[in-house]
Structure 1
Amino acid sequence: MSRRLVSPQIARSWLLVPASHPELFEIAQASDADAIIIDMEDAVAANDKKQARKDTLAWLNSGHRAWVRINDASSDFWSDDCAALKKAEGLEGVMLAKSESSSHIDDTADRLPDGVRILALVETARGVQQVERIANAPSTFRIAFGTGDFKRDTATGEDPLALAYARSQLVIASRAARLPAPIDGPTLDLAKLPAGTAHAKEMGMSGKLCLTHAHAATINEGLSPSDDDIAWAHGFITAFQASGGKITDGSDLPRLARAQKIVQQAEDFGIEVAAAEVSHSGY
């Protein structure tokens, strides 16, 4: 059975696959991940870049589709990455490492085929400072948070509170620029993944990177509306319609909007709740 295709605008799990290990490409494609990113940057040693680029291009030109993380615009590999991907038939879009300015986005777009979507990976203090301009660059499709490099760049610790400001900046900039909600960085420990995913959702993020396909299902579940959420949403909409759309107080329209969003998400992700579970409570 083929996996359900999820639009990258709402994709929850983004699986990074080392470009130096093409034997993993098929495994990634068969996984639960909503989106696959072939990683030609940090996951590949400098001496292996050329072969990894060649293997990535061969796979994308053999009927497969994926995103590709390219090296940052200040690196020695960026130009060759862009040139190679101009010939990639199955390119879904590009993740630009260490996005630190709108010019990084614009210059990358100029070197790629027209209309290629760019996922701006913000992973430095400078990137966070410039995130509003990055979000408003014409070719920016969505923003992701490179938590590992950001912590290294800023000497930030592991406490989620330490990254709250940066995460909020990405969320606010994305919303103001009318972009989809941003994608959080990976949680490496599977035991901590449910909490990490819940925190990302609480912060207003709607996607999460992962480095192994084993994490995709947990991320998808954590970033999807729960059965209780969906049951409440259907019940609220049913009760609201039954009342003839009567407004009882100022919370009705916000709750209606939330209910409609939940129902749409459930439809987009293929989640169904039995009719017996639908609750009319909360109206």
Structure 2
Amino acid sequence: MTDTADSTPTGTIPTQTTGSTGRTERRRPNPDIARSWLLVPGTAPERFDSAASSRADQIVLDIEDAVDPARKPAARGDVVSWLTGGGRAWVRINDRSTDFWSGDVDALLGLPGLQGVMLAKTEAPEHVTETFDRLGGSLPVLALVESALGIEESPAIAKARGAYRLAFGSGDYRRDTGTSADDLAMAYPRSRLVVASRIGGLPGPIDGPTVGSSHPVLREQAGVAVALGLTGKLCLDVEQLPVINEVISPTPSDVAWAQDFLADFESRGRVIRDGSDLPRLGRAQKIEKLASAFGVQAAT
């Protein structure tokens, strides 16, 4: 799906920009390849501007899990005000089964700064489609899968009209299933989302957040996610952003290999020599695209 809400070209390296409102924010990679997704509580409007100028690939204003039910209407109002006043972000909305969902989509409909929505606790394709239609049929819906049922329904969710990417609500999934945070225990739901995304023709899924301030732990967990095929990660703290962006980006040695392979491929007239050439060509082209988008230079 082409992102209709973000006109930033995929190959753009993030830089600081200042709009007509005087708000400073970064140009960001397109959401289909975004690595870091920063969740900001809707109850903290004083943090919205600083999040927009952070190193996050995408900003998500949260009016679901981070907000006490009694404060949801006020948080929703603050988010609407910021998006109307020149801010640009995604919004995590309440799940389809709640009384808050309808109010969320009605309040967000037509807002100039809304880039898309993250739908909490998605468990069926119609949850995505109904949200997509209620928002006018043009904004992308990022389906947050957070339960055993959602994981098992993820191939159908990924094929739903309006689905843009899948994301893993790892904390709620563990609470729903009693699963530990061990990498092996969590490999199945993560892999299931990777397979579902491929079936639905979506970009790679987004992993759940790492809780805590340990950068070595964050680096390890992000590396596991990448190894399993996930291509983004939710985060709760701006200090996590550089680590996530680095781990999920191609390495300089990857970029050097891709450039060398593509140069050799061109020099031999794009001739396929054996069966290993096609997968290597696909990998090299993907690395080159991501390196251009994220500003990664080849190792010398």
Gaps of 5+ in 2: 1-14, 17-25
Residue 192 (structure 2) aligns with: 169
How far did residue 225 of structure 1 move?
0.3
1:268 paired to 2:261: no
CA deviation map 1:17-37 (0-9, x unaligned): 000000110111011000000
Gaps of 5+ in 1: 278-283
1:19 paired to 2:42: yes
C-alpha distance in 2 between matches for 1:247 and 1:87: 49
Residue 105 (structure 2) aligns with: 82
CA deviation map 1:22-57 (0-9, x unaligned): 011011101100000000001001111111010000
Residue 143 (structure 2) aligns with: 120
The equivalent position to 1:253 in structure 2, one of 253, 278, 281, is 278
SS in 2 for 1:196: helix
The letter for the 2-side match of 1:143 is: L
C-alpha distance in 2 between matches for 1:66 and 1:236: 38
Residue 36 (structure 1) aligns with: 59
The letter for the 2-side match of 1:130 is: E
How far did residue 84 of structure 1 move?
0.6
1:141-220 equivalent positions in 2, closer than 5 A: 141-189=164-212, 190-191=214-215, 192-220=217-245
The letter for the 2-side match of 1:226 is: T
Question: Normalising by structure 1, what TM-score?
Answer: 0.94
The equivalent position to 1:131 in structure 2, one of 154, 157, 171, is 154
The letter for the 1-side match of 2:298 is: V
Question: More deviation in 184-193 or 220-229?
Answer: 184-193
Residue 8 (structure 1) aligns with: 31
Aligned length, in residue pairs: 275
Maintained 8 Å contact 2:205/2:232: yes
Question: Normalising by structure 2, what TM-score?
Answer: 0.89
C-alpha distance in 2 between matches for 1:98 and 1:207: 18
What is the percent sequence identity of the aligned residues? Answer: 51
How far did residue 248 of structure 1 move?
3.8
The letter for the 2-side match of 1:151 is: R
CA deviation map 1:148-198 (0-9, x unaligned): 000000000011111111111110110111101100001113331101111
Residue 58 (structure 1) aligns with: 81
The letter for the 1-side match of 2:235 is: C
C-alpha distance in 1 between matches for 2:33 and 2:86: 24
C-alpha distance in 1 between matches for 2:132 and 2:164: 11
The letter for the 2-side match of 1:106 is: T
CA deviation map 1:203-237 (0-9, x unaligned): 10100000111111111111110000001111122
How far did residue 87 of structure 1 move?
4.3
C-alpha distance in 2 between matches for 1:44 and 1:253: 48
C-alpha distance in 2 between matches for 1:33 and 1:44: 21
1:68 paired to 2:94: no
How far did residue 88 of structure 1 move?
2.0
SS in 2 for 1:17: strand
1:230 paired to 2:255: yes
C-alpha distance in 1 between matches for 2:160 and 2:267: 45
Maintained 8 Å contact 2:95/2:120: yes
Residue 49 (structure 1) aligns with: 72
CA deviation map 1:132-160 (0-9, x unaligned): 11111111111000000000000000111
C-alpha distance in 2 between matches for 1:133 and 1:255: 30
